[in-house]
Structure 1
Amino acid sequence: MDAQAGLSKADRLRSLKRGVTVVVLAVGGLAGSVVVADERLELVGHLDLSRYEGLWYEIARLPNRFQDQCAGDVTARYELLGDGKVRVTNRCRTPGGNWSEAVGVARRNASDGREAALEVRFAPRWLSLFPFVWGDYRVMALDGEYTHALVGSRDRKFLWILARQPVLSEAAFETMVSEAQGQGFDISRLEKTVHTQ
């Protein structure tokens, strides 16, 4: 008996597509190359670090273990250093009402080559030679006045919406969310940040 006889047309089509995918991957494997989805993010074409520096408020983020202690009032301050790097000071209010602060450094990602591809580390300076201490910081969207920005990582695990004020218009917020979704981020997990000041 034909195993597909009782299946709907849509189910048969899905089954056929799965079969074709398996064949394509098998042939690709035999040829020594399996096609992998392009993980490259679309970034802003120009990032002027002198305009980007200063205080930014976190409007929303994807949850991450580095910010588990943050209950709200999350900010990032960027300060240009003489060597072309940027001092990064992240600050947030903890559930107990105290302040948590982390200071790091950011630099252009030389392996990517695009202006808006940065990498940041909060590990001690002596560890900076090890690539694993540098995290992705890629500016995917930025308005012309440098008042709000969308920042993410290539693996799509980290995402932040930032603004110069602790509030962002709904229209600007939705534009950032739409851009993130279009670039493959799971926006269903996006959490808005509470600002009390």
Structure 2
Amino acid sequence: MKWFLVELVILPALLTLGMNTGSSDIPKTVDEQDVNKYLGKWYAIASVVKFFNRNCAHGNRAKYSLRGDGKIDLVNSCYTKNGRKNQVHGVA
């Protein structure tokens, strides 16, 4: 029972102590962003498994393109281990 208490309460408390970097620097933001720099194809070299890419085996990529109304079209795609292409479309 004593070890259970250590694992359940004390260990997580000790681990969170190291999470504070002690830095109070606030990141600076930019006034404007050049969206054109981010348009085009982007390839993933590593990823965290999420709902969409849970069946992806390779070829993870995203394509961003500017629409006439100023919004951005987004297409995320990948290939399963069976070679089937998965795609999801979105607008930002």
Classify the TM-score, shorter chain. 0.5 to 0.7
Of 100, 103, 110, the match for 2:86:
100
Q: Distance in 2 between matches of 1:55 and 1:103?
A: 14
Q: Distance in 1 between matches of 2:86 and 2:51?
A: 14
Of 45, 62, 65, the match for 1:59:
45
- Other-structure match for 2:3: none
Q: Per residue, is there more helix in 1 or in 2?
A: 1
* 2:62 pairs with 1:76: yes
Q: CA deviation at 1:60?
A: 1.5
SS at match of 1:51: helix
Q: Percent identity?
A: 36
- The TM-score normalised by the length of structure 1 is 0.31
For residues 102-136 of structure 1, give each alpha carbon's deviation from its aligned partner in whole angstroms, at most 9, with x where no partner exists.
11111xxxxxxxxxxxxxxxxxxxxxxxxxxxxxx
Structure 2 CA distance for partners of 1:60 and 1:44, relative to 1, 3 Å: farther
C-alpha RMSD of the superposition:
2.3
Q: Distance in 2 between matches of 1:65 and 1:43?
A: 32
Q: Distance in 1 between matches of 2:53 and 2:28?
A: 24
Q: Distance in 2 between matches of 1:56 and 1:94?
A: 18
Q: CA deviation at 1:44?
A: 6.0
Q: CA deviation at 1:77?
A: 0.3
Q: CA deviation at 1:47?
A: 2.9
Q: CA deviation at 1:54?
A: 0.3
- The TM-score normalised by the length of structure 2 is 0.62
SS at match of 1:76: strand
Which runs of at least 4 in structure 1 moved beyond 2 Å after TM superposition?
A: 42-47
Where structure 2 has 5 or more consecutive residues not aligned to the other structure, the ranges are 1-9, 14-26
- Other-structure match for 2:76: 90
For residues 140-182 of structure 1, give each alpha carbon's deviation from its aligned partner in whole angstroms, at most 9, with x where no partner exists.
xxxxxxxxxxxxxxxxxxxxxxxxxxxxxxxxxxxxxxxxxxx
